[in-house]
Chain A
Amino acid sequence: NAGVTQTPKFQVLKTGQSMTLQCAQDMNHEYMSWYRQDPGMGLRLIHYSVGAGITDQGEVPNGYNVSRSTTEDFPLRLLSAAPSQTSVYFCASTGEREFYSNQPQHFGDGTRLSIL
């Protein structure tokens, strides 16, 4: 059981390049979300999805697009990378049956992204 898998683990981009950060979960979770983590800022919600075909904005959505064509995958797209998007990105998933389990939220290991 792989849990939440994020790829790549590290990436360096030039300003203006586009990129997709991948997130996949194999637990049939309905709910998935993307966060960015910056020094001294904690984790901030970018976008989330409550099911296939349904996405919504979080606290810091500007500069990012998402889609949820399948239950398993929730990619995050940077259409034109900017240095301000240098950050560590975390994907998370959860489901109704997880709410009373000992692991209510499952996080990936993160993608470290640098924009030059």
Chain B
Amino acid sequence: GEDVEQSLFLSVREGDSSVINCTYTDSSSTYLYWYKQEPGAGLQLLTYIFSNMDMKQDQRLTVLLNKKDKHLSLRIADTQTGDSAIYFCAESGSGGGADGLTFGKGTHLIIQP
């Protein structure tokens, strides 16, 4: 089946930029997502990108998509303690998400003071 891979942990200093990486295998994916989950909470959509785009910026968040290498990244500028969470990469497949999403296992972002 299709697969989404992420590193399990990332540690950054407060104020630095965080870059969370993701690779996926389904080249037909229409959408690629980044979700944030804080402890004990549900999923919060951070941003998503269409497969025909290579970059999307939204305030402190920048998403880069390399479709050739099937690589997606999320950059968080000026990382704050409130950014501490698990970040999930997900892809929609060719159906746009009608038949569900495939998630990575999540990257734990740890903020050092």
Contacts and interface: CB of A to CB of B under 8 A. Distances in A.
A110 to B, nearest CB: 5
B53 interface: no
Contacts of B101: 33, 43, 45, 92, 105
B42 A31 contact: no
B97 A104 contact: yes
A94 B103 contact: no
A48 B99 contact: yes
User: Range of interface residues on chain A?
Assistant: 20 to 34
A94 B98 contact: yes
Interface residues of B, number: 24
A26 interface: no
A44 B103 contact: yes
B42 A42 contact: no
Given A33-B100, A42-B105, A105 B33 contact: yes
Given A45-B101, A50-B99, A94-B98, 9 more contacts: A42-B4, A43-B101, A43-B103, A90-B42, A92-B101, A94-B96, A94-B97, A103-B45, A104-B96
19 contacts: A31-B98, A33-B101, A35-B100, A35-B103, A42-B88, A42-B105, A42-B106, A43-B43, A43-B90, A48-B98, A59-B1, A92-B101, A99-B30, A99-B97, A104-B92, A104-B96, A104-B97, A105-B45, A105-B97
